Structure 1
Amino acid sequence: MPDEPYFIREEKLEVSRSQGNAEAAVEPLQLGKRVREIRLGQNLTLEEASKRTGLARSTLSKIENEQISPTFSAVSKLVKGLGIDIPQLFTQPKQSNGASGRRDITRSGEGTPHPTPTYEHELLATQLTNKRMVPFKTVVHARAFDEYPEWVRHDGEEFLYVLKGSLLFYTEFYEPIELFAGDSAYYDCEMGHALVSTSEEDAEVLWVTA
């Protein structure tokens, strides 16, 4: 039997009141938005979530952008790969009615390490979930562009600030440009990008992804 998709639709309920009848709309469950919220809350890129869930990056992107409805098989992979349960996936995020007063302090050197072959990331503010921004500090180990098997790309926009050293900033549609301590860049993350250290010591950068 083929997998059956979850259909997300808006339902309207008629409520009878003493003054007459009024219509109340039940807000539809935005499953794609919920998947994206959970993924970003775990500081995962689409590529990392793809590896964890076994779903193609393009499939995850389409789910998050409400372009397709996930099959039961896809939902099972999401739940298992993201380490959540089904009720979490189908629960509407809480709506904020004002300032929530959230705060997260990361002491120097106490971020969550996340090493890769080319970067050594230190994830910041990891105690907060459902963040609108993902901040992290990175030491750039790569010394040549060919150390990257493919362009780095993911959803959102990104701000890059060079903390130490110098580096070549490669982007898919522009010539490489050298950046030095104090320089910054803001760019579309869907565009392929990569960093290569050019200073004697590996460059260090601060990234904020939205």
Structure 2
Amino acid sequence: MASTKNPPPKEKGVSIIDKNLPSFGSDKQLEASIGKQVRIARKNAGVTLQQLSKQSLLSASMLSKIENGQISASLKTIQLICHALNISITSLFKQHDKDVEPTFIKSGDGLTIERAGSDESRHYQLLGHTVGGSLNVEPCLITITSRDYEFPEFQHKGVEFIYMLKGQMDYYYGTKIYHFKKGDSLYFDSDKPHGPKKIISDECQFLTIICTNNSD
């Protein structure tokens, strides 16, 4: 009897995998802003502090202090809360400071993140984010070092831009396939299935910029 092969998973979001994560510091305004957004997201989800505590594996006491701006939460703690509430990390910052400072990232210093299907041959670096109002922008540098990688299917809200920096690959969008070489780009609505179809060179590197509307 022929065995059936499970389809690759769909992309479901971002989780931080860097274990040496910094805290957000002692800015009381930032702490209060994050806490307010956590409380709003929790109430919108219809969960109590006790329920969120079970889902996030954080104590209800700590969650209460975060919501009231009494403590500075680490990035790992915020990631656990966002995962439990099914919201993006950047959504917690959208009301903090109308004037967003520029984000300068030195080469190789982007925040390492994990997406569905990630392993040692598929590396993501988040290069910053724009928050404020209804717009959310996430630029990410993706490096793939295996031709045999089995890709998940991506499908999400918003629009996306891809710019090829190194190597060659075939990339599908819906029923179409695009052959990428260095310098090629693609801009599309990301609500259709899309993703790398075939890696042609030993190493591929490309920039993706995903824009979503937080009010959706």
Provide TM-score, normalisation by structure 1. 0.52
Q: Give the direction of change, closer, same or farther, for the CA distance of 1:186–1:74 in structure 2 (3 Å limit).
A: farther
* 1:5-16 → structure 2 map (5 Å cutoff): none
Instruction: Return the offset for 1:78.
Output: 6.2
> RMSD of aligned C-alpha atoms?
3.7
Q: Which amino acid aligns with 1:105?
A: F
Q: Give the direction of change, closer, same or farther, for the CA distance of 1:193–1:101 in structure 2 (3 Å limit).
A: closer
Q: Which amino acid aligns with 1:205?
A: F
Q: Give the direction of change, closer, same or farther, for the CA distance of 1:192–1:85 in structure 2 (3 Å limit).
A: farther
Quick one: distance in 2 between partners of 1:169 and 1:139?
A: 14
Q: Give the direction of change, closer, same or farther, for the CA distance of 1:102–1:179 in structure 2 (3 Å limit).
A: same
Which protein, 1 or 2, shows the higher relative CO under an 8 Å CA cutoff with sep ≥ 6? Answer: 2
Tell me what 2:168 maps to.
166
Which structure has the larger Rg over C-alpha atoms?
Answer: 1
Q: Is the 8 A contact 2:162 2:206 kept in 1?
A: yes
Tell me what 1:186 maps to.
187
Gaps of at least 5 residues in structure 1 are: 1-44, 50-63
User: Residues 40-71 of structure 1: CA distance to partner in whole angstroms, max 9, x if unpaired?
Assistant: xxxxx74446xxxxxxxxxxxxxx8xxx8434
Q: Which amino acid aligns with 2:172?
A: Y
SS in 2 for 1:132: strand
Quick one: distance in 1 between partners of 2:147 and 2:52?
A: 40
Structure 1 window deviating more from structure 2 (153-162 vs 115-124): it is 115-124
* 1:117-136 → structure 2 map (5 Å cutoff): 117=119, 119-125=122-128, 132-136=136-140
Quick one: distance in 2 between partners of 1:161 and 1:155?
A: 19
Gaps of at least 5 residues in structure 2 are: 1-10, 16-40, 69-80, 82-91, 212-216
1:137 to 116, 123, 141: 141
User: Residues 55-94 of structure 1: CA distance to partner in whole angstroms, max 9, x if unpaired?
Assistant: xxxxxxxxx8xxx84343764466558xx835278x9953
Quick one: distance in 2 between partners of 1:120 and 1:101?
A: 27
* 1:1-210 → structure 2 map (5 Å cutoff): 46-48=12-14, 69-72=45-48, 75-76=52-53, 80=57, 85=63, 87=67, 94=95, 100-114=99-113, 116-117=118-119, 119-125=122-128, 132-144=136-148, 147-148=150-151, 150-171=152-173, 173-195=174-196, 196-199=198-201, 201-210=202-211
Instruction: Return the offset for 1:159.
Output: 0.8
Q: Which amino acid aligns with 2:176?
A: E
Instruction: Return the offset for 1:125.
Output: 2.4
User: Residues 81-140 of structure 1: CA distance to partner in whole angstroms, max 9, x if unpaired?
Assistant: 8xx835278x995376x6x151211011111223623521122127x7668211111112
More strand as a share of residues: 1
Provide TM-score, normalisation by structure 2. 0.51
Quick one: distance in 2 between partners of 1:95 and 1:167?
A: 39
Q: Is the 8 A contact 1:47 1:154 kept in 2?
A: no
- Aligned residues between the structures: 140
Q: Is the 8 A contact 1:159 1:185 kept in 2?
A: yes
